[in-house]
Structure 1
Amino acid sequence: MRNKLLESFDKIYILDLHGNSNKKEVCEDGSPDQNVFDIMQGVSINIFIKTNQKRKNELGKVFHFELQGKRDLKYQFLNKNNLKTIHWKNLKYKKPNYFFVPKDFGLADKYEKGFKLNELFINNSTGIETQRDAASIHFTKKELQHTIDVFLNNDIEDIRNILSIGKDGRDWKVITAKEDLVQGYNITTLQFKPFDERYIPYTGNSKGIIAYPRNEINQHILKGNYCIVSPRFFKEPPSYFVSNTIIGHKVLSAYDKNFIFPLYHYENTNGQHTILQSSKRKPNLKKEILNHISNKLRLPFSPEKLDSKDAFTPINILDYIYAILHSSKYREKYKEFLKIDFPRVPYPTDSKTFWKLVRLGGELRQIHLLESPIVEQFITQYPEDGDNFVSRKISKIDPGFVTDEQNPGFGKVWINDNQYFDKVPEIAWDFYIGGYQPAQKWLKDRKDRKLEYEDILHYQKIIVALSETDRLMKEIDKIDFEDDSST
C-alpha cells in the first residue's frame, strides 16, 4: 500500500501526534504522551499532494515530523504552525517495506546473514482461534467436561441459554459445535498465556467447537513436540516463548498474532483418530540450513536426541535459537527488524560458543515449560490460611504487590485482604513476556476464583521461572555469538 501511495503522489507529509495508549506510548524522558482526542488509538495528520509533474516510475517523497507530550502542548504547536513552518524530515525509505516512519537499518547487512525462523522450520502456523473462548477453553477438566455435557445433552437453544452464548458467527455456530463434539474429541491442554495452560476439546475439524484449529500443524504437536512461539510483527517489545502443546493465537500479546514452529513432523497423521498415537517423525527443519550449520560446527546432524556432543540434534538447534532470542542485546540491537518480520538468527560461530548457548537455551526451555527441578525450589511463601479466593484487584488502582520496606526489591502479592504470597522479587512481578506480565496476568485472570492447592504451587513456580529467566538472560548477554564473516 505504501508503495502504491508513493507511485500515486508527489509528496506525502506525515505529522505523527502519537498518543497511542494501546501501545503505552510515553515521551523519550518517560513523561506522559497524551492523545489529542479522547481515544486510545494514536493520531496523525497526513497530507497527500499530487501535481502530475512526477516522472513515470518515479516515487514520491515522504516528509515526517513527530510530536509527543501533553495535549495542550500539541494544541499550541498545531495552532502556531503550518505546512511551511514545520521542520520536516525527508525520510529515506527503502523497499520492500517503504516505511513512513524513521527507521535505522544500518545493521541490515549483518542481520540478514542469519536464517529466519520460517526459513529453517519447514511448516508453521498461527495458534488456534476458537472464536468462542468461553465455550471452548476452561481452567479445569471438570469445568470443560460440564460444558461438553451441556452441548451433548441439550438442544440448540438450551445450550445457548445455559452457557450464555450470544449470536452465531460466520465460522462458529452452536449447531456445528455440537455436531463436532458428537463425532468425538480429545481433551488436551492449551498454552493460553505464558505459564497458563488450560483445557480444550480438540477434534481437528474447522468451524466446529474450534473455528480454526490449524490441524495441519497441531496434529504434529499433539503427538509430542517442542515448539518456538513467535509473532511475525511486533507492536509489543519483542518476546518469544516455547511450548510443548498447542497455543492460542494471542498467547504473547493481545495485538500480535502468534505463530508456532514445531520441531518435528510426524508421518501417517490422519486427523483426530491418530492424534495421540505414536508414529515415525522427521525434523521439521530445512536441510540446506542444517548443512550450513553443520559446516560451521564441523559436526554431523542427528535427527534424534543424543547424549554426547559428537553431533547436533533438532533440540540443540531449538535451544540455540531460544538462547539468542532471549539475548537483551540482540533484541535491542535488531529491534527495528524484529518489529516487522520473523527473527533472523545468526549462524553459530564455533562449536564451543554453540554448546554454551545450547546449555543456556535448554535451561530456559525447561524453566519456561516448568519441567526444570529449579522451579520446585520456591523462593516465596504463602503463610496465611484462608479461603484462597482472589478478590484483590491486581492493578495500579489497588496494587496486589506491596513493597517490603525491610527487604528492598521484594514484596507481598495480596490476593485478598488476608492472604498473600510473601518474598516475591519485584523483578519477577514486573517481568514482561510479550505484552503480558505473567506474575500479574495469571492472578488477574483468576479474579473471583478460588486457588486450589496446585494453583498455589503453580504460582510459586511462575515466580521462580521469571526470576531465573532474568538471570539466564544476563548470562546469555555475556556471550559473543555473532560472526561478521557469516554468509
Structure 2
Amino acid sequence: MVIGWVENKDAKDDLNKEIKNKKEKQYPLLNTIFENSKELVLFQDGKEVIRVNMSKSEELDKVLIKFVSFRPEEYKKFQDAFNNLKRILPDLAKDLREFFKEEKKINKKFKENLKEFTKKCQLSINNNITEELAIEMIIQHMLTRDIFVIFFQNANFHMNNIISKSISNILTHINQKSFEITEKIKSYTDCLSSYTKTITKDDKQDILKTFYSDFYKALNSKKADVQGIEYTPIQIVKFMVDASEELLYKHFNKKLSSRDVNILDPCSGTGIFMAEIINRINLKDLEYKYKNELFSNEIDIMPYYISNLNIENAYFERTNSYEIFENICFLDTLEFQTKLGNNALFGMEEFSEGNVKRAVRQYEKKINLIIGNPPYNANQKSENDNNKNKVYIDLDKRIKDTYVNLSSAQKTKQYDMYKRFIRWASDRIKSEDDGIIAFITNNAYLDSRQDDGFRKSVQKEFDYIYIIDLKGNARKRNKSEGGNVFNIQTGVAIMFLIKKGVSEKQNKINPLNQKKANIKYYNIGDFLSGDKKLMSLQQDISFFDFEDIIPDNKGQWLNQTNNDFYEHTALIDKNVKNQKVGKAIEQKAIFKLFTLGVSTNRDNWAYDFDKEQLEKKIKCFLKIYNNERKKWADKKLNDANFNDNLDYSIKWSEHLKKQLIQNKEIKFNKKSIVKCLYRPFIYQYLYFSNKFCDRLSFNKFLFPNENSENICLTFTTKDSYKFDILAINKLSDLHTTLYGTINAPLYVYENGEKKLNITDYAIKEFQNKYKDKATAENIFAYCHAVLSSPKYQKEYEENLKIDYPRIPLYKNFDRFVELGKRLIKLQTEFENFD
C-alpha cells in the first residue's frame, strides 16, 4: 500500500511557492511531505497539519511518525469492511451448507444437476470429490464472485468460464433463499469497491493475496491446514520472476518473452506469479505467449477463480483487450499427468471440451520454467482433525526411489507437499530439455539429516542450484534466524534448479552420464526482520554474493565438519539393527538394537501422575472406543460419513481407526500400567499397550514387564539442535529428551531371556585397547561418560546434529568408566537423593 508521497526540493527552492504549484497541478495531498533540507511541511487530507525546522530532531521525529502512521478514512473503512467480512464469512458458509442440505432433500432438479456436476469434477480433478465438496465449490462461488469483480472491473470471467457456467446452471434451479443469505455481504463489498479504485497495481496484488489467504482459511480452515496455504508477498514474486529471466538468459540465452520458453505455475493460488510474468513479457510478444506458452494449474475452485481473474486482468491492463486465458486448468497438478497416461479423463462431455482439452495441451508441451509457491505441509497434526493429506501412489514411489533411497537416515519425511512438487517438477522437465524450477519453500532440506537423500538427488539431477536462504525458523532457539517473510514458524528459502538438457545421442555415448550440480548458496543475513529481508530482495540476483557449496561425502551442504568424527566407532547403526532382535547383523557399531521412545499420540489419556486416576481415564477411553466399534461393526466403513460421525471426545489416530475398522476389541489390562520417564527426572504412570499407544517401537524388548531390569543410554535423535543424554532404567517417552528420544539398552529380552546388547565387534575393539577391563558393563559406562562430556559435545557439535554419536577410545578408560557409573547411579536413582 502507498503510505504517502515525499517531495524533495533543493535548499534554495521556495517551499511555499513549490507547494502552491503542486496544488494547482492537483498533486495528491492525502499524506504528503514537502521538504528543502531546511523546512518540512506535512499535508494530510488536503490540509497542512504541521511545519517544522528540520534541524530540530525531536520535532522531525514526531512528523515522520505522524506521516508513516497515517491511514486515510477510505482505508479505515476498507479495513473495517475487510475484517467484518472475514468475521461473518464462516457463518454465511454454514447457513448455505444447511440450505443445500435441505435443497438436496426437496429439489429433485438440483439433486440431479449436483450429481452430474460432482461426476464431472471427479473426472477432471480427482475421484475423491464428493457431493459435499462440490457443494463447497458452489458456496465459495456464491460468496466470492461479486467480491472478485471489485478487484477486476474489466473481467468477463464469470460469463465465459466453463466451470463457472456449470455452477451458474445449478444455481438457476435452487430456491431464492440462498441469494438472501449472500445479500448480507453487499454493504461490505460496496466499501471494498470504493477503496480498490484508489490503489496501485502492486497494492491490489498484495490485498488480493491477503484477501485470498484470510478468506480461504475462514471458508475452509481444514484444507488450508492440509495444503499449508501461505500466499506470496509481491516482493518475492517480483524477485523470483526477475531472477528466473536472468538465469534463463545466463544459462540458455533466452528470456521470458522468447519463443518456445513455456512457463507453468503448477499451484497458481491467486495467479500472482503469472500476472507478474505477463507484466514482464514484451508487448509485441505477449499475445502469442499468452495464448500458447503460459500455463497455470489450480486444484481448488476459489483460488482457480481468483487466479483466472487476476491473469486475465493483467493481460487486459497491458493490451487494453480482454482475452479468456485458455491455459489455466482446474485440476490436481500432482495427479493429472498419471491420469492422462492412463486415459482416465476419456469420455467427459462438457469438461472434455474445455478443462481437459487445456490439460492435454499443457501435457504435450515441453516446459522450460516451472515457477511458484508450492504448499508446504508434511501431514496433519492430529487424526482428530479428520484432515489427512492425500497419497499419490506413482509420485510417492518416485520419491521413494530417489530421495528416500539415497538417504542414510533411518526415518525420512519426504512426502510433504513441497517435496512432492519438487519431485514432480524435476520429472516434468525432461532430461533432454533445458529448464528451470523456481520455487519458494520450507528450507529444512538445507541442513536436515533426513534430507541427505533429497540433497544428493537434486545434485545428481541438475546442473546448477541457486539457493537464497531467507531463514526465519522460529523453532530454532537461535535469534539470528530473524523474522519470517511469511506468517509461519518454519524457515523459508528460494531455490532455482537448472537443468541443461542431454540429447539422446549423448546418452547413448555415455549412458551413465550423471550430473553434479554447481551449488550456489546465499544467506540473507542474521537478526533481520521479515520486512528487511523483503527489502533485500529488491536487488538483482546478480548482486548477491553467493557462496559455492561442495557437499561432503555425507551429502551435507551446510554445517560441514572437518574432524576425526567418522574415524571413531559408531554407537548405533541402522544396518546393525534388525527387525527381529535375535537376527541382528554383526557390523561395526557398539549396540545391536536401539529404539525410539514410546509414542502414544494421546499423552493426555495415556499418562498420569496418579495410578488410580490413569486407570479411570483408560477405562473411560476404552468404553467410548468399544461403543464406536460396535456402532460401526455392521456399516460400510468406506462411507464418506465415517470420519465425520466418530465420537471425537477421545483422541483418534490412524492406528486406532485401523483397529476400529478391523473390529478389534480393546480390553483394559491393569498390568499394562507401568512407570515411564515422561520428561527428564519426571516419572508418570503410562498405559503401555500396543493397541492403545500408537507406537511402542522395540521397547517391549527393553522392558517386557514392570519388573524387568535394564539400563539404557537415552539421547536425542539426529536433526536435534542440541545433544542431550541420560541414563534410564525405565521406559522413556518419545520426548523424554526435548528433540526426540533414542534408547540404546545394555540388555534386550527375547522370549523371556535377558541378553547383552553390546556387539562382539565392540567388545573386541575395546579389549584390543583396554584389555580385560573392557566388559560390556564397563563399555556402557564409558560411552555414557564420553557422551556426557562437555568437551566431546562441543568438539562434535555439528556432527551430532546430523548423525548418531561415535565413540573415541581415549587413554584414561578407568576414569571414564568410574564417572559413567556415578552418572548412571545419580540419574537412575534420583528419587532416592535429597
Name the TM tier (shorter chain): 0.5 to 0.7
Deviations 1:160-210 (A, max 9, x none): 9xx97346332025969993334663321111111111111224xx3x111
Query: Are the equivalent residues in 2 in contact too, given 1:181–1:209 (CA < 8 A)?
Result: no
Give the partner amino acid of 2:761: E
Residue 236 of structure 1, aligned match among 702, 721, 733? 721
Identity %: 24
Tell me the CA shift for residue 91 of structure 1.
Answer: 0.5
Query: Are the equivalent residues in 1 in contact too, given 2:600–2:606 (CA < 8 A)?
Result: yes
| 2:806 aligned with 1:344 | yes
Query: What is residue 153 of structure 2 aligned with on the other side?
Result: none
Give the partner amino acid of 2:776: P
| 2:814 aligned with 1:355 | yes
- State the secondary structure of the residue aligned to 1:285: coil
- State the secondary structure of the residue aligned to 1:79: coil
Query: What is residue 106 of structure 1 aligned with on the other side?
Result: 562
- State the secondary structure of the residue aligned to 2:557: coil
Deviations 1:39-71 (A, max 9, x none): 211111111111226982231111111122222
In structure 2, relative to structure 1, the CA distance for the partners of 1:344 and 1:182 (3 Å cut) is same
Query: What is residue 41 of structure 1 aligned with on the other side?
Result: 490
Where in structure 2 are the equivalents of 1:416-431 lying within 5 Å?
none
Query: Are the equivalent residues in 2 in contact too, given 1:65–1:89 (CA < 8 A)?
Result: yes
Work out the CA distance in 1 between the residues paired with 2:544 and 2:826.
52
Give TM-score scaled by structure 2 length: 0.38
Work out the CA distance in 2 between the residues paired with 1:47 and 1:170.
37
Work out the CA distance in 1 between the residues paired with 2:495 and 2:650.
40
Work out the CA distance in 1 between the residues paired with 2:730 and 2:601.
19
The structure with higher relative contact order (CA 8 Å, sep 6+) is 1
Where in structure 2 are the equivalents of 1:298-377 lying within 5 Å?
298-299=771-772, 311-349=773-811, 353-371=812-830, 375-376=833-834
Tell me the CA shift for residue 110 of structure 1.
Answer: 4.9
- State the secondary structure of the residue aligned to 1:117: coil
Work out the CA distance in 2 between the residues paired with 1:221 and 1:157.
29
Query: What is residue 758 of structure 2 aligned with on the other side?
Result: 285
In structure 2, relative to structure 1, the CA distance for the partners of 1:372 and 1:141 (3 Å cut) is closer
Count of residues in Structure 1 that have an aligned counterpart in Structure 2: 337
Deviations 1:102-140 (A, max 9, x none): x33210x45422332342111111111112212211121
Query: Are the equivalent residues in 1 in contact too, given 2:472–2:485 (CA < 8 A)?
Result: yes
Tell me the CA shift for residue 238 of structure 1.
Answer: 1.1
Work out the CA distance in 2 between the residues paired with 1:372 and 1:324.
24
Give the partner amino acid of 1:129: S
Query: Are the equivalent residues in 2 in contact too, given 1:228–1:242 (CA < 8 A)?
Result: yes
Where in structure 2 are the equivalents of 1:327-476 lying within 5 Å?
327-349=789-811, 353-371=812-830, 375-376=833-834
Identify unmatched segments of 5+ residues in structure 1.
270-279, 300-310, 377-487
Tell me the CA shift for residue 267 of structure 1.
Answer: 4.1
Residue 2 of structure 1, aligned match among 455, 462, 487? 455
In structure 2, relative to structure 1, the CA distance for the partners of 1:189 and 1:110 (3 Å cut) is closer
In structure 2, relative to structure 1, the CA distance for the partners of 1:181 and 1:91 (3 Å cut) is same
Where in structure 2 are the equivalents of 1:24-103 lying within 5 Å?
24-27=477-480, 33-52=482-501, 56-67=513-524, 68-71=526-529, 72-80=531-539, 82-95=540-553, 97-101=554-558, 103=559
Query: Are the equivalent residues in 2 in contact too, given 1:14–1:44 (CA < 8 A)?
Result: yes
- State the secondary structure of the residue aligned to 1:131: coil
Work out the CA distance in 1 between the residues paired with 2:623 and 2:469.
56
Query: What is residue 144 of structure 1 aligned with on the other side?
Result: 614
- State the secondary structure of the residue aligned to 2:764: helix
Work out the CA distance in 2 between the residues paired with 1:295 and 1:368.
30
Tell me the CA shift for residue 347 of structure 1.
Answer: 2.0
Residue 692 of structure 2, aligned match among 181, 190, 209? 209
Tell me the CA shift for residue 369 of structure 1.
Answer: 2.2
Query: What is residue 122 of structure 1 aligned with on the other side?
Result: 592
In structure 2, relative to structure 1, the CA distance for the partners of 1:13 and 1:110 (3 Å cut) is same
Q: Larger C-alpha radius of gyration, 1 or 2?
A: 2
Residue 195 of structure 1, aligned match among 669, 681, 702? 681
Query: What is residue 252 of structure 1 aligned with on the other side?
Result: 737
Deviations 1:3-43 (A, max 9, x none): 2211211100111111111112222xxxx722222221111
Give TM-score scaled by structure 1 length: 0.63
- State the secondary structure of the residue aligned to 1:84: helix
In structure 2, relative to structure 1, the CA distance for the partners of 1:167 and 1:17 (3 Å cut) is same
In structure 2, relative to structure 1, the CA distance for the partners of 1:43 and 1:148 (3 Å cut) is closer
Query: Are the equivalent residues in 2 in contact too, given 1:296–1:348 (CA < 8 A)?
Result: no
Query: What is residue 11 of structure 1 aligned with on the other side?
Result: 464
Residue 225 of structure 1, aligned match among 691, 701, 710? 710
- State the secondary structure of the residue aligned to 2:543: coil
Work out the CA distance in 2 between the residues paired with 1:167 and 1:220.
26
Query: What is residue 135 of structure 1 aligned with on the other side?
Result: 605
Please tell me the root mean square deviation across aligned C-alpha atoms, in Å. 3.0
Q: Of Structure 1 and Structure 2, which has the larger fraction of its residues in helix?
A: 2
Work out the CA distance in 2 between the residues paired with 1:372 and 1:144.
21
Deviations 1:232-272 (A, max 9, x none): 3133211112211111112212xx43221110123423xxx
- State the secondary structure of the residue aligned to 1:185: helix
Give the partner amino acid of 1:106: N
Query: Are the equivalent residues in 1 in contact too, given 2:702–2:748 (CA < 8 A)?
Result: no
In structure 2, relative to structure 1, the CA distance for the partners of 1:186 and 1:178 (3 Å cut) is farther
Query: What is residue 165 of structure 1 aligned with on the other side?
Result: 649
Work out the CA distance in 2 between the residues paired with 1:2 and 1:354.
39
In structure 2, relative to structure 1, the CA distance for the partners of 1:268 and 1:217 (3 Å cut) is closer
Give the partner amino acid of 2:597: G
- State the secondary structure of the residue aligned to 2:537: helix
Tell me the CA shift for residue 158 of structure 1.
Answer: 9.2
Query: Are the equivalent residues in 2 in contact too, given 1:122–1:286 (CA < 8 A)?
Result: yes
Work out the CA distance in 1 between the residues paired with 2:705 and 2:816.
25
- State the secondary structure of the residue aligned to 1:76: helix
Query: Are the equivalent residues in 1 in contact too, given 2:565–2:796 (CA < 8 A)?
Result: no
Work out the CA distance in 1 between the residues paired with 2:602 and 2:770.
47
In structure 2, relative to structure 1, the CA distance for the partners of 1:372 and 1:189 (3 Å cut) is closer
In structure 2, relative to structure 1, the CA distance for the partners of 1:129 and 1:355 (3 Å cut) is same
Tell me the CA shift for residue 324 of structure 1.
Answer: 1.1
In structure 2, relative to structure 1, the CA distance for the partners of 1:370 and 1:236 (3 Å cut) is farther
Give the partner amino acid of 1:285: I
Deviates more, 1:336-345 or 1:177-186: 177-186
Query: What is residue 186 of structure 1 aligned with on the other side?
Result: 672
